[in-house]
Chain A
Amino acid sequence: MSVLILAEHDGQQLKQATRQAVTAAQSWGLPVHLLLLGADTAAVATQAAQVAGVARVLRVDAPQFEHPLAEDVAAAIVNLARDYKVVLAGHTAFAKNALPRAAALLDVAMLADVIAITAPATYVRPVYAGNVLATVESIDPIQVVTIRATAFAAAETGGGAEVVSLAAPAASAASRWVSETRNVSDRPELATARVVISGGRSLGERFEAVLGPLAQHLHGALGATRAAVDAGFAPNDIQVGQTGTVVAPELYIAAGVSGAAQHLAGMKDSKVIVAINHDPDAAIFQVADFGLVADLFDAIPQLTAALKQ
């Protein structure tokens, strides 16, 4: 029996979440296989085969995987999963969409957003917006699991896995891909950035203008509170929190963030937290290593300028 990882990639590069899943997969001490779904996975298969800790790369190339839909991804997993002990992936939008569907087809439970694994079947996962940690044991023959990226280091390059090509099941007739919009950015990916600069609603229309230069200088990603996203000042996919992205960077700078429990759930495991807020009683200061009570429209440009010196 082995561990099957549902890999995520953009056609060229494996996502960091997949490398983190490879690290988590070592918990079982079983061979680790990486499942690559794509229209043409040749390039990414070469890269995947070099990830340390991977024994085999399974390539499934088919036109429907140009833009993989949950129906087709789940069918591909179900095709293979009965030969595996564990089906694993990072807790990304891609896996959150497809893996529960696969688990139901296999008639097994799924464990989402796991932060610790005690093989063979005991897991710790946050519930209630991370205010509670639940330890649960699965009694199912196949464990379907997504892991929280921030809880596992990324596997390095340095392996030499065999690469095997497999046929895809027939494409689903019930769903089709129409289009996508990508928030183009030359900044690092939010979930894995070393530095994250987050802003609240008070930044208003100046969200990018105020925070952008600081992010640029620190090679950081931008994050936002739900209120800032709801108000249209920041795009949806940079929301940090219980229902957005969970981050744990080396440095998290919260500018004008009040510190609602749902936001804290997404960033309180950051190594160093800086809070800048004009309200000295803001809840964010309770989790901040360094708090500065100041008007962020003055403080952030000053901070950017001071760091450049």
Chain B
Amino acid sequence: MKALVAVKRVVDHNVQVHIKPDGSGLETAGVKMSINPFDEIAVEEALRLKERGVVSEIVAVTLGEPVAQDVLRHALAMGADRAVLVEAHGELQPLGVAKLLKAVADREQPGLILLGKQAIDDDAGQAGQMLAALLGAAQGTFASAVTVNGDEVEVVREVDGGTETVALKLPAVLTADLRLNEPRFVKLPNLMMAKKKPIEQLAADSLGVDYAPRLKRQKVGTPPHRAPGVKVNSVAELVQKLREAKVV
């Protein structure tokens, strides 16, 4: 069974983002970019399924400018077999991403499609569910454990107040939550070897889907800054402050 893993290039999670002075967007020039951490967990899960003999081939896919290839190289260095770059220019939004990924899935015919549960830049958390909808496939979102049994995949999902286990017919779409696994460290020799693995390039416009943005960004701003508080010297003083603030 083939696994397709979608990965996104995002501003590294350790970088503090800055807004352009005119409020039109974010400063991205010279900012460190990385694979979205949830997508890295999705790649790792595909690798573990391959190591267990469930998956035979792992194809990593990303969408965007040619520079997005660096996250494909990362997935290849982790152990993905090959990669696909869907070259698209301008802003991509979840519905458009889902449509482009569906076109790739139609070509690749994977048994499992894995993504992160959300990207840490736009925090939308929609691409996996939308892709499942367009494919008419079952979805296992916020996955914290994945087991393939025959033509089904059993997924433990993290939900409000606990967990839920669902069984999905293959092909299915899974989105990875934080505790699904801990991704392996990429060693330098693997990064060098990954340069020899193939990356296929497809033009988004050749896939015959409408991926134009539906949401128009009007502006970006920063949330109101919280005024600095005071340090107290003892538990007794803290209790006094809390009573004055009428919160206890």
Complexed CA–CA distance, A137 and B219 (Å): 10
Which A residues fall within an 8 A CB radius of B? Answer: 67, 69-71, 74, 92-94, 96-105, 107-113, 122, 126-140, 172-183, 189, 191, 195, 218, 226, 229-230, 235-237, 242-243, 245, 250-251, 261-262, 268, 271-274, 285-294, 299, 302-303, 306-307
Q: A94 to B158, alpha carbons, bound, how many Å?
A: 10
CB under 8 Å from chain A, chain B span 100-124: 117-118, 120-124
Are B134 and A108 in contact (CB-based, < 8 A)? no
| B218 and A94 within 8 A (CB) | no
Inter-chain CA distance A237–B158, complex, in Å, is 7
CB-based nearest A residue for B124 = A112
**CB < 8 Å neighbour of A292 from B120, B214, B238:** B238
Partner of B245, one of A67, A101, A272: A272
Q: Which of B126, B217, B228 contacts A136 (CB 8 A)?
A: B217
B187 at the binding interface (Cβ < 8 Å): no
Q: List 14 A-B contacts (CB under 8 A).
A: A96-B142, A104-B95, A104-B129, A127-B121, A128-B17, A128-B120, A137-B215, A175-B168, A176-B166, A177-B166, A179-B165, A180-B162, A180-B163, A272-B245
CB distance from B165 to the nearest CB of A (A): 4
CA distance A107 to B96 in the complex (A): 10
Taking the nearest CB of chain A, how far is it from the CB of B28, in angstroms?
11
Give the complex CA separation of A246 and B120 in angstroms.
15
The distance in angstroms between the C-alpha atoms of A189 and B161, with both chains bound, is 8
Counting residue pairs across A and B whose Cβ atoms lie within 8 Å, the total is 242
- Min CB gap B42→A, angstroms: 14
Please report which residues of chain B, range 224-248, place their CB below 8 angstroms from some CB of chain A when the two chains form the complex. Answer: 226, 228-236, 238-239, 241-242, 245, 247-248
- What does DSSP make chain B's interface, helix, strand, loop or mixed? mixed
A105–B123 touching, CB < 8 Å: no
**B169 interface neighbour in A173, A243, A250, A299, Cβ under 8 Å:** A173
- Of residues B121, B133, B231, B239, which shows the largest number of chain A Cβ atoms within 10 Å of its Cβ? B133
Are A113's CB and B123's CB within 8 A?
yes
- Pair A236/B158 contact, Cβ less than 8 Å: yes
Residues of chain B whose beta carbon lies under 8 Å from any beta carbon of chain A: 11, 13, 16-17, 19, 26, 38, 93-95, 98, 117-118, 120-126, 128-134, 136-139, 141-142, 144, 154, 157-169, 172, 177-179, 214-223, 226, 228-236, 238-239, 241-242, 245, 247-248
- Least Cβ distance of B100 to chain A in Å? 13
Residues of B within 8 A of A299 (CB): 235
Q: Nearest chain B CB to A102's CB is how many angstroms away?
A: 8
Give the distance in Å from the alpha carbon of A302 to the alpha carbon of B129 in the complex.
Answer: 47
Chain B residues contacting A137 (CB-CB under 8 Å) are 215-216, 218
- A72 nearest CB across to chain B (Å): 11
**What is the chain B residue whose CB lies nearest that of A245?**
B160
When the two chains form their complex, are residues B126 and A103 in contact, meaning their CB atoms are under 8 A apart? yes
A94 touches B138 (CB 8 A): no
Distance between Cα atoms of A67 and B219 in the complex (Å): 40
B159–A93 CB distance below 8 A:
yes
Q: Which 9 A-B pairs have the closest CB atoms?
A: A104-B130, A100-B129, A109-B214, A104-B133, A100-B126, A289-B229, A174-B138, A175-B138, A178-B165
CB atoms of B163 and A236 under 8 A apart = yes
Residue of A nearest to B241 (CB): A290
Residues of chain B contacted by A290 (CB below 8 angstroms) = 229-232, 238, 241-242
Whether B220 pairs with A178 at a CB distance below 8 angstroms is no
Q: A69 and B166: CB pair below 8 A?
A: yes
Known: A97-B141, A127-B123. A70 touches B129 (CB 8 A): yes
Expressed in whole angstroms, the Cα–Cα distance for A103 and B214 within the complex equals 12
Name the distance in Å between B228's Cβ and chain A's nearest Cβ: 7
Known: A127-B121, A132-B19. A183 touches B248 (CB 8 A): no
In whole Å, how far is B155's beta carbon from the nearest beta carbon of chain A?
9
Provide the residues of chain B in CB contact with A132, threshold 8 Å: 17, 19, 26, 220-223
CA distance A173 to B214 in the complex (A): 31
**Which single residue of chain B is at the shortest CB-CB distance from A74?**
B133
CA distance A182 to B17 in the complex (A): 37
Return the chain B residue nearest A299 by Cβ. B235
User: A262 contacts which chain B residues (CB < 8 A)?
Assistant: 13
Bound CA–CA A261/B177 (angstroms) = 19
